[in-house]
Chains A and B, each alone.
Chain A
Amino acid sequence: MSAKLSALFSDSYIDVSQYRDQHFKGNRVDQEKLLKQSCTLYVGNLSFYTTEEQVYELFSKSGDVKRIVIGLDKVKKTACGFCFVEYPFLHCFLSGAVRYYTRVDAENAMRFINGTRLDDRIIRTDWDAGFKEGRQYGRGKSGGQVRDEYRQDYDPARGGYGKLTQLQRTSDGPRTF
C-alpha cells in the first residue's frame, strides 16, 4: 500500500562517486555493476604514517573487516596514503521469491566513517570495483599517488610538498631579497 517515497528515503552517502578507475580492465558496464555490488572500499587522504592496525580499528566499527591492503609507493614500497578495506558479503533476507544480498557493513562505513578523522585527517571512502594485484601501488610518476605529484600545499604527513613543487623549490634555489 505504501509508495516508495524516494524523496524521503535518501541514502546519498552510499551513492557511487564520479570517480572511475581509468586502469579498470573491462568495459564501463562491468565497472558499474561491480561498483554497485562491491564490498571493497577505497580509503584516501591517509597519513603516510597511518598503520594497518589503525585502519582495522576504525573500520571495524561498521562491521567485521575481511582484509586491508595498504597502498604503497611503487618505488619505495612504503605507505603512500591510501588503502583498500574489504568487508564480507552478507546474505540478508528473503522477500517473496527474491533473496537479497546486502553489503551493509561497507554501506555503514560510507555513511559513518567517510568524512571523519583518522590520525587527525579527514579521510574519504569510495566504492571500489575490487582489489587486484597491482592496484596497491601509487600511479604517480614519482611512485606515490597522482594527487601528491601536483599538489602545492605543504603536508607533513604526506611527504611535505607535492613532488612537482619539491622539484621547483630545489631548482629555484635559495631566495635572496
Chain B
Amino acid sequence: MSRRRHSDENDGAQPHKRRRTSEPMEIEDRLESLICRVGEKSTSSLESNLEGLAGVLEADLPNYKTKILRILCSVARMLPEKLTVYTTLVGLLNARNYNFGGEFVEAMIRQLKETLKSNLYTEALYLVRFLCDLVNCHVIAAPSMVAMFENFVSVTQEEDVPQVRCDWYVYTVLSSLPWVGKELYEKKDVEMDRLLGQIEVYLKGRQKTHVPMLQVWTAEKPHPQEEYLDCLWAQVQKLKKDRWQERHILRPYIAFDSVLCEALQHNLPPFTPPAHSHDAIYPMPRVVFRMFDYTDAPEGPVMPGSHSVERYVIEENLNCIIKSHWRERKTCAAQLLSYPGKSKIPLNYHIVEVIFGQLFQLPSPPHIDVMYTTLLIELCKLQPGSLPQVLAQATEMMYMRLDTMNTTCIDRFINWFSHHLSNFQFRWSWDDWADCLTVDLDKPKPKFVREVLEKSMRLSYHQRIVDIVPPSFSVLIPAEPIFQYKYGDESSSSLLAYPVTITVGNAIKNRASNEEILTVLRDVPNPNQEEDDDEGEGFNPLKIEVFLQTLLHLAAKSFSHSFSALAKFHEVLKTLSDSDEGKLDVLRVVYDVWRNHPQMISVLVDKMIRTQIVDCSAVANWIFSSNMAHDFTRFYVWEILHSTIRKMNKHVQKIQRELEEAKEKLEKQHHKKRDSGDEEDMEKLSGDEEGQLEEQIERLQEKVESAQSEQKNLFLVIFQRFIMLLTEHLVRCETSGMEFNTSWYKNCIERLQQIFLMHHVTIQQYMGTLENLLFTAELDHHILTVYQQFCALQL
C-alpha cells in the first residue's frame, strides 16, 4: 500500500468517492446531480440550462417521478439561495405536465407540515417562500396564497400563546413579500391591504423587552440595531411605497413568461397552522446587525439602504449560502463571492457585514466561532486585492465603537482578531490605535488591545508580542507567563514554612508516595492552631500552600508536567481540599503561582474539577472572592467560569443519558420476556438481570437528582454573588452621589447578562427558584431588568 500522503497545498478537501455502478442508481445520482447543479457556472445561459433540464426531467417522469419529487422538495428546503432557479424549473415542468405540478404542491404542503411539527422553522420559512414564488411561475393561484397568508396572520388572534409563535407566522408572510408582493397585490390588493393592516396592529402591540439584551451595540448611532420584525416591516412599507418594484432578485421565470402563462395553476389546499404545543421551540427574536452604509464603500456600486428591500434580500441570500456550505470553507467562500447580481452591489461589504452579524449574534452564533475566522481567511485568499481592506476597515470601525459594544461581543471580537492576526504574522497598524494609550487601562479600548495581545501571546510566545507592537504599547503587553514561587529566593528562607518546602520538594523528587507526603506535611506549622490542638488536626491552610506551591513549581515546565503532578498526588490533594475552605485555598494557591499565566490557571482549574479536587461551586465562589477582585474584569476569568458551568451541564446530561440507556435496556428486557414462548425459563434467567437493572436505574435516578441539585446550586451561587456585588456598587454610588455606570459596572452587569444568554437552555429549568429566591421585586431595578429581558426571550 502506498504511503503517499496528500500534499500540503490540498488543505484538507478529499477526492470524491467512486460512484456506484448499478444502472438505476446511476440514473438517480445523475438526476440528483443535474438538479443540484443547475444554476451554477456554465457555458450555456441559465435559461437554456433550465429548458434543457425541464426536458430531461419530463422524459424521466414516468419512471422516476417519486425520486424527482423528492429531490425537488429537498432543494426547495435546503437551497433557498437558489429559490428562483428551482421555482422556474417547477414552473416549466408544471406547464408540460399539470399533474406533476399538482403532486409537487401536495408534497410541499406535506413537507411544510412536517417541518413545523419538528421545530424546523427556518426550513419551513424557505418552503413557504418557495410556494410564494411558485405564484410568480403560474404554478399556484394567487388567491389561494393570499388565503394561506390570512390563516398565518390569524395566529396573532390566538390567546395564551407565546409571542414568538405569532412572530414567526408574521415574519414568514412579510419575508415572502419581496418575492411575491407585486403579484399578490395585482390580484388581491384589498385582501393584502387588510392583511398588512392586521400585521401593523400586531407589531404595534408587541412586547420588545428583549431587544436591549440582543443588541451588539447599545448606541443608536451610526446604525440603529433594530429588532428584526421592525426592520422588515419598514422595508416592506418602503417596497409598498415603491409599488412593489423589486429589482434585485434574479427571476429566470420572466424569460419564460410566454410559456408559463399558458400553464394551468393549482390552488393551495386550505392550510391551518398547527396548534401551539408545549414542546414547540419557536425561533428566538433577533436584532438586525448593521455596521456599514453607503458612505463606507468608497467607490463602486452603492450599498442599498438599511430599509430597502434589496438589503433584506441580499442578507437573506448570503445567510442562506453560509447555512448551506459552512462545513466546506472553500466552497462557502466561492459561493459567497459568486453571488448573482454582485456587480451592482459592494459585495465584499455585504459579506463582511453578514459574517460579523452571525459571529456577534446573541445569544449565540448559528455556527461555531472558529468557522467564521477560517471563512474570512479563505475569502481573503480568494480576493487578496480587495477583501483584506474591507476587513481592516471593519476592524477599525469596531475598535472605534468598543465603548458601546456588548461585552460578550467584545469577547468574540478579541478571539476572532487575535486568531486572524496569527494567520497573518500579526501584521497590524498598531500605531493607528495609539489613542488607547491616552486613557485609563480599564477603559474599553486599551482593555481590548491588552486582551488581544494576551490571546495572541497564547498562540505564539511572549517575545513575539514584544516584537510586533511599537515600544509605546509596552504597557499593554501581557506579563511574561512565568511561575511565581513564594519560597523561591533568599528572602523566603525566613518564611515560617520554608524548611518544610525543602523537605516536601525533596520527597517529591525522590518519588515519595502520597502517604509519605501526608506524613511530611504534618510538620507544617499551623498558623490557626489552637493551643490544645496538639494533633494538628485543625484545618491548616499553610499545608495546602506549602505542598501545592512546591509541587506546581517542580511541574511548571509544561501542561503535561503539571497534569502528571496532579495525577500522581491526587490523594494528597483530595485530602487537603476536603472542605470548602480547602478548595478555595487550593484555587488561591494556583492563582498566586500562575497569576502571570492565565492559560495555565484555566487548564489547571479544568483538570482539578475533572479529578474532583475542587467542585464547580468552589470555582464560582473563588472567582467572586475579594482576592480575585483585581482580575474580575479580565477575559480569562469569565472563560473559566463559563467553562465550569459547561462542565456541570455536561455532567448532568451524561448521567441523564446513562439513566435513559438503562431504562431502555429494561424496556427491551420486558419485550423479550413478552415475546418469548417459554415464560418460566425466561423469568428465571432474566429475573436477576432485571433486578440488577432496576437497582441500577434507582442508583442513577439518585445520581441525576444529586447532579441537578448541584447544578441548581451552582447557578444560585453565581447569581447571588452577582446580585451582592452589583447591589453594593449601586448603593455606594447612590449614597455618595457618584455616577454608577462605570466601566466596571458595565462589565459586571453585562457579564450577568452573559450568564443568562450563554446558558439559557439550562437556566430555564430553574426559573421558578430564581424568581422566588433571587430576582424578586425588592431587587434594584437595574439588576431586575436583566432578568426581565431574559424572560422576554421566549415569551
B is bound to A: yes
Query: Which A residues are within 8 Å of any B CB, using their own CB?
Result: 1-3, 5-20, 22, 45, 51-54, 56-58, 61-62, 64, 68, 70, 91, 94, 99, 108, 110-120, 122, 124-125
The reply to whether the CB of B206 lies closer than 8 angstroms to some CB of chain A is: no
State A2–B118 Cα separation when bound (angstroms). 14
Q: List 24 A-B contacts (CB under 8 A).
A: A1-B107, A1-B111, A1-B114, A2-B74, A2-B77, A2-B78, A3-B32, A5-B36, A5-B71, A7-B36, A8-B79, A10-B327, A11-B327, A13-B327, A14-B327, A18-B2, A18-B5, A62-B368, A64-B606, A112-B370, A112-B371, A112-B373, A124-B8, A124-B11
Interface contact A56-B110, CB-CB below 8 Å: no
Interface contact A45-B8, CB-CB below 8 Å: yes
Chain B residues near A54 (CB-CB < 8 A): 458-461
User: Given A18-B4, A111-B329, A116-B374: A1 and B70 within 8 A (CB)?
Assistant: yes
State A18–B422 Cα separation when bound (angstroms). 29
Interface contact B458-A53, CB-CB below 8 Å: yes
Interface contact B70-A2, CB-CB below 8 Å: yes
State A118–B2 Cα separation when bound (angstroms). 29
Interface contact A3-B560, CB-CB below 8 Å: no
The reply to whether the CB of B404 lies closer than 8 angstroms to some CB of chain A is: no
Interface contact B73-A1, CB-CB below 8 Å: yes
User: Given A1-B110, A2-B77, A11-B327: A17 and B5 within 8 A (CB)?
Assistant: yes
- Pick from B74, B107, B460: contact of A119, CB under 8 Å: B460
Give chain A nearest CB distance to B226 CB in angstroms. Answer: 31
Tell me the dominant secondary structure on chain B's binding face: helix
State A112–B376 Cα separation when bound (angstroms). 11
Give chain A nearest CB distance to B371 CB in angstroms. Answer: 5
Query: Which of chain A's residues has its CB closest to B558's CB?
Result: A52
Question: B724-773: which have CB < 8 Å to A?
Answer: none
Chain B residues near A114 (CB-CB < 8 A): 11-12
Chain B residues near A10 (CB-CB < 8 A): 327-328, 331
- Pick from A3, A11, A16, A117: contact of B422, CB under 8 Å: A117
Interface contact A20-B370, CB-CB below 8 Å: no
Interface contact A53-B559, CB-CB below 8 Å: yes
The 8 A-B pairs at the shortest CB distance, nearest first, are namely A115-B11, A15-B14, A57-B458, A61-B370, A2-B74, A3-B70, A112-B374, A7-B36
Chain B residues near A8 (CB-CB < 8 A): 36, 74-75, 78-79, 324
Chain A residues near B328 (CB-CB < 8 A): 10-13, 111
- Pick from A13, A53, A94: contact of B13, CB under 8 Å: A13
Chain A residues near B36 (CB-CB < 8 A): 5, 7-8
State A163–B519 Cα separation when bound (angstroms). 52
Interface contact A108-B460, CB-CB below 8 Å: no
Question: B1-39: which have CB < 8 Å to A?
Answer: 1-6, 8, 11-14, 16, 32-33, 36-37
Question: B211-230: which have CB < 8 Å to A?
Answer: none
Query: Which of chain A's residues has its CB closest to B458's CB?
Result: A57
- Pick from A3, A52, A64: contact of B559, CB under 8 Å: A52
- Pick from B11, B70, B654: contact of A122, CB under 8 Å: B11
Chain A residues near B77 (CB-CB < 8 A): 2
The reply to whether the CB of B425 lies closer than 8 angstroms to some CB of chain A is: yes
State A75–B370 Cα separation when bound (angstroms). 37
Interface contact A53-B560, CB-CB below 8 Å: no
The reply to whether the CB of B67 lies closer than 8 angstroms to some CB of chain A is: yes
State A108–B461 Cα separation when bound (angstroms). 25
Interface contact A122-B8, CB-CB below 8 Å: yes
State A55–B4 Cα separation when bound (angstroms). 26
Chain A residues near B654 (CB-CB < 8 A): 91
12 more CB-based (< 8 A) A-B contacts, given A56-B603, A122-B11: A1-B73, A7-B37, A13-B12, A45-B8, A53-B599, A61-B415, A61-B419, A70-B560, A108-B371, A112-B368, A115-B12, A124-B8
The reply to whether the CB of B506 lies closer than 8 angstroms to some CB of chain A is: no
Chain A residues near B13 (CB-CB < 8 A): 12-13
State A2–B331 Cα separation when bound (angstroms). 23
Chain A residues near B657 (CB-CB < 8 A): 91
The reply to whether the CB of B189 lies closer than 8 angstroms to some CB of chain A is: no
Most buried by B among A9, A11, A111: A111
Give chain A nearest CB distance to B426 CB in angstroms. Answer: 9
Query: Which of chain B's residues has its CB closest to A19's CB?
Result: B5
Chain A residues near B558 (CB-CB < 8 A): 51-53
Give chain B nearest CB distance to A38 CB in angstroms. Answer: 16
Chain B residues near A15 (CB-CB < 8 A): 14
- Pick from A111, A115, A125: contact of B327, CB under 8 Å: A111
State A75–B603 Cα separation when bound (angstroms). 30
State A45–B5 Cα separation when bound (angstroms). 13
Interface contact A5-B32, CB-CB below 8 Å: yes
State A176–B70 Cα separation when bound (angstroms). 75
The reply to whether the CB of B369 lies closer than 8 angstroms to some CB of chain A is: yes
State A51–B458 Cα separation when bound (angstroms). 10
- Pick from B73, B423, B460: contact of A116, CB under 8 Å: B423
Give chain A nearest CB distance to B510 CB in angstroms. Answer: 22
Query: Which of chain B's residues has its CB closest to A6's CB?
Result: B32
State A13–B390 Cα separation when bound (angstroms). 28
Interface contact A3-B67, CB-CB below 8 Å: yes
Chain B residues near A20 (CB-CB < 8 A): 1, 3
- Pick from B74, B371, B459: contact of A58, CB under 8 Å: B459
State A1–B371 Cα separation when bound (angstroms). 30
The reply to whether the CB of B377 lies closer than 8 angstroms to some CB of chain A is: yes
The reply to whether the CB of B661 lies closer than 8 angstroms to some CB of chain A is: yes
User: Given A8-B324, A17-B6, A53-B558: A111 and B78 within 8 A (CB)?
Assistant: no
Interface contact A12-B14, CB-CB below 8 Å: yes
Question: B699-734: which have CB < 8 Å to A?
Answer: none
Chain B residues near A17 (CB-CB < 8 A): 5-6, 14
Give chain A nearest CB distance to B413 CB in angstroms. Answer: 15
Interface contact A117-B423, CB-CB below 8 Å: yes
Interface contact B459-A118, CB-CB below 8 Å: yes
State A5–B32 Cα separation when bound (angstroms). 7
Give chain B nearest CB distance to A122 CB in angstroms. Answer: 6
Interface contact A19-B422, CB-CB below 8 Å: no
Most buried by A among B16, B328, B654: B328
Chain A residues near B8 (CB-CB < 8 A): 45, 122, 124
Give chain A nearest CB distance to B789 CB in angstroms. Answer: 29
Give chain A nearest CB distance to B419 CB in angstroms. Answer: 7
Chain B residues near A68 (CB-CB < 8 A): 559-560
Give chain B nearest CB distance to A116 CB in angstroms. Answer: 6
Chain A residues near B6 (CB-CB < 8 A): 17-19
Chain A residues near B2 (CB-CB < 8 A): 18
State A96–B455 Cα separation when bound (angstroms). 43
Query: Which of chain A's residues has its CB closest to B424's CB?
Result: A117
State A18–B599 Cα separation when bound (angstroms). 36
State A53–B111 Cα separation when bound (angstroms). 49
Interface contact A113-B370, CB-CB below 8 Å: yes
- Pick from B78, B107, B369, B458: contact of A5, CB under 8 Å: B78
Interface contact A19-B370, CB-CB below 8 Å: no
Query: Which of chain A's residues has its CB closest to B32's CB?
Result: A7
Chain B residues near A45 (CB-CB < 8 A): 8
Give chain A nearest CB distance to B549 CB in angstroms. Answer: 21
Chain A residues near B37 (CB-CB < 8 A): 7
Chain A residues near B14 (CB-CB < 8 A): 12-13, 15-17
Interface contact B75-A112, CB-CB below 8 Å: no
Query: Which of chain A's residues has its CB closest to B76's CB?
Result: A2
Query: Which of chain B's residues has its CB closest to A124's CB?
Result: B8
Interface contact B70-A108, CB-CB below 8 Å: no
Query: Which of chain B's residues has its CB closest to A88's CB?
Result: B650
Chain B residues near A6 (CB-CB < 8 A): 32
Chain B residues near A70 (CB-CB < 8 A): 560
Interface contact A57-B5, CB-CB below 8 Å: no
Q: Mark B35-75, 1 if CB is under 8 A from A, else 0.
A: 01100000000000000000000000000000100110111
State A54–B422 Cα separation when bound (angstroms). 11
State A148–B419 Cα separation when bound (angstroms). 28
State A17–B14 Cα separation when bound (angstroms). 7
Query: Which of chain B's residues has its CB closest to A51's CB?
Result: B558
Query: Which of chain B's residues has its CB closest to A3's CB?
Result: B70
State A61–B657 Cα separation when bound (angstroms). 26
Chain B residues near A58 (CB-CB < 8 A): 459
